[in-house]
Amino acid sequence: MNILRHRQGFTLIELLIAVAIGGILAALAMPSYNAQVRKSRRADAVSMVAAVQQAQERWRANNASYGSQADLTRATTDTLPGMGMTATSVKGYYTFAVSGAAPSSYTVTATAVAGTSQALDAGCTVLDVVVQNGASSYTQNQCWSK
């Protein structure tokens, strides 16, 4: 009779060690992963700001100055027609606001929507673009992909 038996499988201790190592690796990887997801979602703000800039140029082609927030978001079928834009980005992570609309300048501010993961995007929850005489300048440069 053979006293030594051939064991198959894992012991409970080996399984717990493997699970603990997996948990530690996941805990280390998740913050980096979330930061990359937030960075990629900034594209939502970039596309929204680009749409606002295009709408502003269309507005300016027919008016004496750039449009206000109300001009851009007012329906195209109103008595005083607007551009019919929604103030929220396509994917819903940002809202925009136009300020300082004048004949040669305006500012577009994209703000992360509260309650979304973008609201946790440290230093990049508010993105501004100032357009002055046709030239755009971006604040929070580290937040804009170039």
In tens, the pLDDT along 58-67 reads: 999 989 899 9
For residue 127, the surrounding DSSP H or E stretch is strand 126-132
Q: Is residue 4 part of a domain?
A: no
Q: Is residue 3 part of a domain?
A: no
pLDDT digit string, tens, across residues 20-44? 999 999 999 999 999 899 999 999 9
| pTM greater than 0.85 | no
pLDDT per residue rounded down to tens, the chain (146 residues): 556 666 677 889 999 999 999 999 999 999 999 989 999 999 999 999 999 999 999 999 989 899 998 888 888 887 778 888 888 998 999 999 999 999 999 999 999 999 988 999 888 999 999 999 988 888 888 888 75
């606001």: which residue's tokens?
Answer: 97
In whole angstroms, what is the distance from residue 72 CA to residue 128 CA?
A: 17
Domain that holds residue 80: 12-143
Tally of domains in the chain: 1
Q: Is residue 16 part of a domain?
A: yes
Q: Is residue 1 part of a domain?
A: no
User: Could you tell me the two tokens for 9?
Assistant: 């499988």
Q: Is residue 104 part of a domain?
A: yes
pLDDT at site 6:
67
CA dihedral 15, 17, 22, 24 (to 10 degrees): 160
Q: Is residue 7 part of a domain?
A: no
CATH number at 92 reads 3.30.700
Q: Is residue 2 part of a domain?
A: no
pLDDT at site 77:
82
Q: Is residue 127 part of a domain?
A: yes
